[in-house]
Amino acid sequence: MGNVLIIGAGGVGSVAAHKCAQINGVFSRITLASRTLEKCRGIQKDIHENTGRLIDIAQVDADNVPETVSLIKKVKPDVVINVALPYQDLSIMEACLEAGVNYIDTANYEPKDVPKFEYSWQWAYHERFRKKGIMAVLGCGFDPGVSNAYCAYAQRNIYDEIRTIDIVDCNAGSHGHPFATNFNPEINIREITQNGKYWESGRWIETKPMEISVDFDYPEVGPRKSYLLFHEELESLVRHIKGLQRIRFWMTFSENYLTHLRVLQNVGMTRVDEVEFEGKKIVPIRFLKALLPDPASLAPNYTGKTAIGCVFDGIKNGKRKKIFIYNICDHAECYKEVKAQAVSYTAGVPPVIGAMMIIQGKWKGQGVFNVEQLEPEPFMEMLNKHGLPWQQVEFRSSILEQ
């Protein structure tokens, strides 16, 4: 029986804590810690009402390594699930190293003052984790996370050679607000206002933000305009999927969302540097975060579905084969189950399954790993059982061919 420490009591952390409590027989002790104890207390109460289980809670500032080490040493978890913000990744990894405990997160490290995300900072920890005899699993949310597992599964079980991968991410839900983001607004806006980037024939090709789009026909949702973005899993998949010729990432945005975003950018509200305001220094994007709805608060009235998956094109037994592996998730169903919307749900369930894989010894290793380096089959079997079932279909459309 496992002991898990979850750090971060936002939308994703709440789902992770609920799921751990639901999965009987795996997590005998669950501790939820965050900067604001009150948020942990609210989640503790909901879980108690839903499942009858009383999880432990704690206050921690995860930017502070000694404070985090002392919490980890007190709780003695088998694994720490980091669902705070990407800014805390390195300090929580440091704390896990010092305490000798396995680590999982869902988003790669970003420095606060530069809107840049890449794996180099976290990959640099490989030797130290290896020497300590523990494992860190990076990017174990939905995308990155489940998307990486789909790629590993396709490589091991379906193809002799994968030539192209297109990861497609659609949220066709409706929350009733004129403008809101589905996960932490600061992280979300920093991600999508960067230049787009994809990989082809051995090199990275950069585009302007939202410069390239296609109308992709999503199952159970229908056609949606999808924009090419850079997303962190491209960086690791290029390393680990053999023979790959091209990989891209697409995400849907409504016209309304893009118009709001353009205005916010044009007036400087998405800036990440400090500006002087009435004698104080403020960071505009953080001020904007304070004004926007908390993503977790969108859940009660959210309707519609998310559809996220990978389109593969490649060769099997000398013949060309195109398939699509995907998941559909319903916002209202997620709310009924764990009081969350589907974006928090799809990101919060996979790190729990990842923690289960480590506790049960199905994912073993010493060092720092991306999800596609670990066995996809037991992970995907558990996704089917615990709320994120996947489908595999032949893919006939030519929409992604150039």
Judged by the rule CB under 6 A, the positions of this chain that interact with ligand NDP are: 7-13, 34-36, 39, 60-63, 83-86, 88, 106-107, 141-145, 183-184, 187, 295-296, 343, 347
Q: How far is the CB of 13 from ligand NDP (least distance, A)?
A: 6
Q: How far is the CB of 317 from ligand NDP (least distance, A)?
A: 34
d(CA 105, CA 95): 14
Q: How far is the CB of 231 from ligand NDP (least distance, A)?
A: 9
Q: How far is the CB of 15 from ligand NDP (least distance, A)?
A: 8
Q: Which is nearer to ligand NDP, 132 or 231 (CB)?
A: 231
d(CA 33, CA 15): 14
Q: Which is nearer to ligand NDP, 311 or 349 (CB)?
A: 349
In 3D space, the residue among 22, 20, 16, 15 whose CA is nearest the CA of residue 3 turns out to be 20
Residue whose CB is nearest to ligand NDP in the complex, by number: 10
Q: Which is nearer to ligand NDP, 39 or 248 (CB)?
A: 39
Q: How far is the CB of 58 from ligand NDP (least distance, A)?
A: 10
DSSP 8-state assignment for residue 174? B
Length of the chain: 402
d(CA 194, CA 302): 28
* b/e code 202-222 from CB counts within 10 Å (16+ = b): eeeeeeebbeeebebebeebe
Q: Are residues 30 and 23 in contact, defined by beta-carbon separation less than 8 angstroms?
A: no
Q: Which is nearer to ligand NDP, 68 or 102 (CB)?
A: 68
Q: Are residues 92 and 98 in contact, defined by beta-carbon separation less than 8 angstroms?
A: no
Q: Which is nearer to ligand NDP, 39 or 175 (CB)?
A: 39
Q: Are residues 228 and 211 in contact, defined by beta-carbon separation less than 8 angstroms?
A: yes
Q: Which is nearer to ligand NDP, 106 or 155 (CB)?
A: 106
Q: How far is the CB of 255 from ligand NDP (least distance, A)?
A: 23
